[in-house]
Amino acid sequence: TRHRAAYRLCQAEAECLVMVVSQDGGVKFVRQQEEQVVFWEQSPV
């Protein structure tokens, strides 16, 4: 899935920031922070 690919990329590349856009319109940002992959959702305005 797009989400899994984003998590794997961020695990491999510590300096990356990935934006994942879902078919339903949801948006998540994924990055590595302190050797952990974290994500947060962006709410529509």
This prediction has a pTM of: 0.83
Q: Which residues contact 44 (CB under 8 A, 6 or more apart)?
A: 25
The rounded distance, in Å, linking the Cα atoms of 26 and 33 is 22
What is the reported pLDDT for 32?
97
Query: What would the pLDDT profile of 24-37 be if each residue is shown by its tens digit?
Result: 888 999 999 999 99
Query: What would the pLDDT profile of 8-28 be if each residue is shown by its tens digit?
Result: 999 999 999 999 998 888 899
* pLDDT over 90 at 1, yes or no: no
The rounded distance, in Å, linking the Cα atoms of 26 and 24 is 6
Q: Are 30 and 38 in contact (CB under 8 A)?
A: yes
